[in-house]
Amino acid sequence: MTTRASGRDNGRPTTERVQSIFATLAPDYDRFNKLSSLGVDRSWRKRTVSMARLNRNSVVLDLAAGTGDLTMALAEQGKPASVLSTDFVPEMLDVAREKAAAYKGPTRIDFTAADAQDLPFEDESFDVVTIGFGVRNLPDRAANFREVHRVLKPGGRYVVLEMSRPPFVPFRAVYHSYLHNVIPAIGDKVTGRRDSFEYLRDSILQFPGQVALAGELHKAGFREVTWRNLTFGIVAVHVAVK
Ligand SMILES: C[S@@+](CC[C@H](N)C(=O)[O-])C[C@H]1O[C@@H](n2cnc3c(N)ncnc32)[C@H](O)[C@@H]1O
C-alpha cells in the first residue's frame, strides 16, 4: 500500500480528532463531497440503498450519518418503514435534520446522537444497519462490528459503503496521485482546513482493502460477507449478513 509523503499516524482516527474535524467541516461537507467525487457520490449511495434490499416494513439504522445524504437516499429510494439517523457530531446531524424537514415520503425519519462503537439500542432491534464513509473514521472497528451484530435481527444486513482499494494497479497509481495532489487542495479551497483533508487522504490510504475488511466482518460473527466494487474499486459496498 502506498503511503507516500504520509506518516502512518496522520490517517489514524481518534475520537477527539474526528469530532473536531467534522464539527468544523459541517457547513462545507456536502460541497466538498460533490467536488471531490465529481458528483459520483450520489450514485454510490444509490447502489448502497439497492444492496440493502429494503421493503416497506424494514426498520433501518444509519450510523455516522453526518449531513444525512445516505439517510435521505434510504428514505427516498428504499422507502422503508423507518430510518434512525445517528452521528456523534451534532453540527453534522443539524444539516441532516434540515434535509429531512423537506421530505414528504412514507418513511419515518428520526435522529439521535450515538457513538457507532457503543450503540444505545436493544439487541435485535433493526432489519438493516448502514454506514456511509464512517467505518474509516472509527478508532475501534471491531467494537462497531460487534455492536452492529448485536443490534441486528437474525438475518439482518450490515451495509458498509467505504473508500477502498482499486484492484487494477495502474489505475490505483493514478488514483493515489489524485488523492495526494487534489484532495487536500480542494479541501483547502472549500474550507481553508488543509490539515483535515490530509487526514482524510491518509485515512483512505491506510484503510484495509476489500478482502481484509470482509475478514474483519466475518471475525465479528457475520455468517456471510460479500462486496461490490464501484468506480473501479475506489469505493466498495460490503454486505454482511447476521
Ligand atoms: C465522512 S462523514 C459521512 C457522512 C455520511 N454518512 C455520508 O454518507 O456522507 C463521516 C461521519 O462519521 C461520523 N463519525 C465518525 N466517528 C463516529 C463515531 N464513532 N460514532 C458516530 N459517528 C461518527 C462523523 O461525525 C461524520 O459525520
The Cα–Cα gap between 188 and 192 comes to 4
70 lines ligand 1 (CB under 6 A): yes
Evaluate: CB of 41 within 6 angstroms of ligand 1: no
Indicate the pTM of the whole model: 0.94
pLDDT for the residue numbered 39: 83
pLDDT, tens digit, for every residue of 37-86? 888 999 999 999 999 999 999 999 999 999 999 999 999 999 999 999 99
What is the model's pLDDT at position 7?
A: 44
Confidence at residue 8, expressed as pLDDT on a 0 to 100 scale: 46
CA of 88 to the centre of ligand 1 (A): 7
CA of 81 to the centre of ligand 1 (A): 23
Domains of the chain and CATH, by start? 8-241 (3.40.50.150)
Question: Which of 16, 34, 89, when mutated, tests ligand 1's pocket best, judged by the most ligand atoms within 8 Å of its CB?
Answer: 89
pLDDT digits (tens, 9 = 90+) for 199-210: 888 999 999 999
Q: What is the pLDDT of residue 34?
A: 83
Segment 119-126 mean pLDDT: 98
Whether 18 is in the pocket of ligand 1, judged by its Cβ within 6 Å, is yes
Q: Which atom of ligand 1 is nearest to the CA of 45?
A: 8
Residue 184 has a pLDDT of: 83
- Separation CA 185–CA 226 (nearest Å): 34
What's the pLDDT score for residue 9?
A: 56
149-182, pLDDT tens digit by residue? 999 999 999 999 999 999 999 999 999 998 888 8
Mean pLDDT of the chain: 92
Mean pLDDT of 203-226: 97
Segment 5-47, tens digit of pLDDT: 344 457 688 899 899 989 998 998 898 888 888 889 999 999 9
